[in-house]
Amino acid sequence: MSISRQGGWITKLIGGQPTRFPGRGRPNLVTIAANVALCKSVYTVPAGRIFIIKTIHMTPAGAAGNNSEVSVYANGTCTGPTLAQGLVYDSSGGATNDDIDLGPGAVVKAGSSISIATNNTWADVHLYGYLTP
């Protein structure tokens, strides 16, 4: 388990638990880092909190097949509507990074799990956002 605080950010790696930022009245800034193949549940929003995802960064972590995609879901099963989807390997352009700005943010309610799915590749995925009461 690895959790660190840097400039107010709380970093949660798979297997760790997020900790609360010590400033009351301010949101908890959260980074979720995951290395994913197929489908992985990466985070469950704590009870009484809402997670707002602001930005997602995706990059291939190994050999990628043509048109390799990464999808982010607001459930632990990689099914249903996606919060975001990105292309990390395109047959015409090769490997690429994909940064997705979600504007005001994608809302994930308390108790919901976030899962990430890939096809044709392993991918490193970082979700950046914050927790609100």
Q: Name the amino acid, one letter, at 38.
A: L
Predicted TM-score (pTM) above 0.85: no
**6 pLDDT above the threshold of 90:** no
DSSP string, 17-32: -----SSTTS-EEEEE
Tens digit of each residue's pLDDT (9 = 90 or more) over 45-59: 999 999 999 999 988
The pLDDT score that the predictor gives to residue 61 is: 76
Q: Return the CATH class of domain 3-132.
A: mainly beta
The pLDDT score that the predictor gives to residue 91 is: 59
CB count within 10 Å of CB 106 equals 20
- Domain range summary for the chain, segments of one domain joined by +: 3-132
Q: Following CA atoms 14, 132, 83, 32 in sequence, which dihedral angle do they give, to the nearest 10 degrees? A: -20
Tens digit of each residue's pLDDT (9 = 90 or more) over 65-96: 667 788 999 998 999 889 888 877 665 666 67
Query: Using CA of residue 61, residue 67, residue 70, residue 76, what is the dihedral sign?
Result: negative
The pLDDT score that the predictor gives to residue 11 is: 43
The pLDDT score that the predictor gives to residue 1 is: 31
Counting residues of the chain whose pLDDT is more than 70, the rounded percentage is 71
